[in-house]
A and B are shown apart, each in its own frame.
Chain A
């Protein structure tokens, strides 16, 4: 039998160290919803989502109660809408975003991802229409999340798409200016996007996925922090071992919840995503873990090495605990959603350049970063291009979720509230990248040998 110590340890993790299942995300294929008439298409989409996810929230709540583990979010990801809408004759896809929002509200999920396009090599007519509609779609809806994949290791970087996304981000910020540019918090620009990511805002249900699937995202920065606080002064071997053991425990719980949800909903289990996802709450921070390793502040020299160790150990520990691991799997470093990152950014100890370096060794990228409202579209595009280059060359997923906060500058901050948190405005490089971005075209796919 399980010992009292183990039982109390589990309860302490949940009660005091913020251990939770971050999300149960149901992936739903909408490929059978395509229709030349956008009205018919919208009707089919609404019916399919509300039917498949009818009992998602209730089931999540039941599991939460029986296992005594909080399941913070129940969410839905759908087939990238550009694939579905390509066959619509309509010029404007915003009605589809509205129907996704309506369906999300009907089934009670807080976010629905997949207002997306995959344009790493080029655009179809539908891709262009979708991308151009993103600002309006995100300003008119509440729960819809959008993502665009602009690069892959096999195709290189579509610089036309990178240029376009700079403008789209800028326009989205303007259209949601009254909320501090909130629309941009629901928009991710990817390189090497994964098909089974359960985390928002970048979730979509990829082409290789089944009809319907359950993916689960676990979390637990607080638990890892607590565990390594017992390793003070010990060498890194011990730190890595401790993180592995902790990640194993967290993931086993994710696997259990995923299997249970899959069984009850009659939907196949997809993956467990082993990510350390922070929240703005005190004690639920990835930055705190890095500082616990001996850094005075996150952002100082050594941060990248600390993060590399953390990210790798989380994966090593988690892989054995789950039958299928996927999604983004790693440590997230969203600035506005992590109390420790916010603290460092406010004091000027964490720069955009350091964050970029950190994304080389962790998932996922420059995440939830607020920059001055007068940042040009070309600068935003250049930031995306840099991040995409890191992903493409290093064979990993990278992403940019950046908010040029309208009317605000360095020294101010923006507060989105809830899980999205509060972000200090960070300075961008003052020199222009406009001519670089204006070139357009594609950056060729990289060589995968002669690695140095």
Chain B
């Protein structure tokens, strides 16, 4: 299942590393990644593929939310379908 991970928060060292570590540990493959820093605010968007043998969606979502809280970032994961539905005919 493909999903979009968005990470928004104040920039600091190691954000990408931290998020990717969680994803790798849970058998989530990163397909595409884009990031910008605007006025100290870090925004990263990742297209990921959740492998079948990996963790369940809601578990991963909770893991990312909790990690976000610890790191002082907003991290969320949403199925790709919602963006396709909203922005593509």
| A69:B34 contact, CB within 8 angstroms | no
B6-A2 in contact (CB<8A)? no
- Whether the pair B79, A66 counts as a contact (CB closer than 8 A) is yes
- Give the interface centre of B4, B32, B78, B86 by most chain A CB atoms within 10 Å: B86
List 11 contacting pairs A-B, 8 Å CB cutoff, sorted by A. A2-B87, A4-B45, A8-B45, A9-B87, A10-B86, A10-B87, A65-B58, A66-B57, A66-B78, A253-B86, A256-B81
- List which B14-66 residues lie within 8 A (CB) of chain A: 32, 34, 36, 43, 45, 47, 57-58, 61
Task: Please tell me the number of chain B residues within 8 Å of chain A, measured between CB atoms.
Answer: 24
User: What is the CA–CA distance of A92 and B33 in the complex, to the nearest angstrom?
Assistant: 65
> How far apart are A3's CB and chain B's nearest CB, in angstroms?
8
Q: Which of A1-35 contact B (CB under 8 A)?
A: 1-2, 4, 6-11
Of all chain A residues, the one with the shortest Cβ separation from B88 is A2
Q: Which of B32, B57, B84, B85 has the most CB of A within 10 A?
A: B85
* A252 contacts chain B at the CB level, 8 A cutoff: yes
User: Is A4 a contact partner of B34 (Cβ separation < 8 A)?
Assistant: yes
Contacts of A249 in B (CB 8 A): 86-87
Residues of chain A with a CB closer than 8 A to B88's CB:
2
Q: How many A-B residue pairs have CB under 8 A?
A: 59
Q: A-side binding surface: helix, strand, loop or mixed?
A: helix
Provide the A243-255 mask, 1 if CB < 8 A to any CB of B, else 0: 0000001001101
**A11 near B6: Cβ-Cβ < 8 Å:** yes
A39 interfacial by beta-carbon distance below 8 Å: no
How many residues belonging to A are interface residues under a CB distance threshold of 8 Å? Answer: 20
CB < 8 Å neighbour of B86 from A8, A65, A252: A252
Query: Is the C-beta of B13 less than 8 angstroms from some C-beta in chain A?
Result: no
A62 touches B58 (CB 8 A): yes
The docked-state distance in angstroms from the alpha carbon of A2 to that of B45 is 11
Given known pairs A4-B45, A249-B87, the reply for A256 and B82 (CB within 8 Å) is yes
Q: Are B58 and A66 in contact (CB under 8 A)?
A: yes
Contacts of B10 in A (CB 8 A): none
Chain B neighbourhood of A9, CB < 8 A? 87
Q: Does B73 contact A (CB under 8 A)?
A: no
Cβ-based interface call for A68 (8 A): yes
Interface membership of B11, Cβ < 8 A: no
Decide: A1 and B45 in contact? CB cutoff 8 A: no
Is B85 within 8 A of A2, CB to CB? no
**Docked complex Cα distance between A255 and B85 (Å):** 9
